[in-house]
Structure 1
Amino acid sequence: MLKTICYISDSRINKSITDFNNLIRTAKTNNAKNNITGILVYKNNNFLQVFEGAPETVDTIFDKIRMDQRHQNIFKIIDTSIDQRIFEEYKFGFTVVSDKHALQNLSDYLEWLRNADNMIANEIVTMVENFINQ
């Protein structure tokens, strides 16, 4: 059994490209080490992240995120068990979405997921699409 968490938060990072690149690098490295798949979307100084993996690992990572000074006003939207990974096939693991091309690729993937007729996947798709389109 696996677990997924989806949350949104306000960013506290400086808007400098160095700070953002450091966040991306850290997220990708840590998630690869911990066998975590998912996405991180940054838009309008806000984050939406979906990550999935072993339940205890996902819970530990979310606890670290809640304590991370780069986030404020964290709101957990989804916290549930899943039978299979939703984002395993998307960019082969964990992906940061921060530009229009990446958003289009994500939109295409979300459309593919919607057709999979998985209730949890559809709920996550709706959350991500609402975030992207705000």
Structure 2
Amino acid sequence: MKNIVYVSTAVKLMHENQLLDILHNSRQHNAALSISGVLLYSEGTFIQVLEGRDSVIDALYARIQADQRHKNIIKLIDEPITEKSFAQWLMGFAVTDAAKTEKLLGYLRSVNELDLNSSNSGTINAIKTFIESNGLDVK
């Protein structure tokens, strides 16, 4: 089992419907393949954690790299793991302008829902840094 953490830049700012489409498709795909993770988006920048079987995560990351909706994809972490940090999330997500999307299942009303204090791994630290750098609300 492994995880990959990457950041990328949207080719253009994403609208709510585009983000919802990504979320819906990701959840369907992830449920079928036992992938978990979290996707955070702020003003054109994504950070995503993907967790699951090595071959499945590598194949998904290759698809992500080919996705024309974003560019400047930088892999921050690619490492084996013994347990998932986001096992309860088929794809948790958060955006900084979330008034309309916050009622959706899996929307992180508070980044505290991620339980980022349970581990001091590089993955958790990458997510914490993104949250702090982008002013995502910590309630």
**What is residue 85 of structure 1 aligned with on the other side?**
84
**What is residue 94 of structure 2 aligned with on the other side?**
97
Asked if residue 133 in structure 1 is aligned to residue 138 in structure 2, the reply is: no
Could you list the runs of 5+ residues in structure 1 that have no partner in the other structure? none
Shift of 1:93: 2.9
Structure 1 Cα separation of the partners of residues 18 and 120 of structure 2: 36
Q: Name the one with the larger helix percent.
A: 1
SS at match of 1:93: coil
Shift of 1:9: 0.1
Task: Tell me the C-alpha RMSD between the 2 structures.
Answer: 2.0
Same amino acid, percent of matched pairs: 26
- TM-score in terms of structure 1 length: 0.82
Q: 2:43 is aligned with what amino acid?
A: N
Q: 1:124 is aligned with what amino acid?
A: T
Q: 1:43 is aligned with what amino acid?
A: S
> Given the superposition, is the C-alpha separation of residues 124 and 85 from structure 1 closer, same or farther in structure 2, using an over 3 Å criterion?
same
Alignment of 1:1-134 (within 5 A): 2-12=1-11, 15-89=14-88, 92-98=89-95, 99=98, 102=107, 105-106=110-111, 108-110=112-114, 112-114=115-117, 116=118, 118-120=119-121, 123-134=122-133
Structure 1 Cα separation of the partners of residues 9 and 132 of structure 2: 17
Structure 2 Cα separation of the partners of residues 104 and 54 of structure 1: 29
Q: 1:27 is aligned with what amino acid?
A: S
Shift of 1:59: 0.2
Could you list the runs of 5+ residues in structure 2 that have no partner in the other structure? 134-139
SS at match of 1:72: strand
Structure 2 Cα separation of the partners of residues 69 and 42 of structure 1: 16
Instruction: For residues 53-108 of structure 1, give each alpha carbon's deviation from its aligned partner in whole angstroms, at most 9, with x where no partner exists.
Output: 0000000000000000011000000000000111013xx432122238755532x2
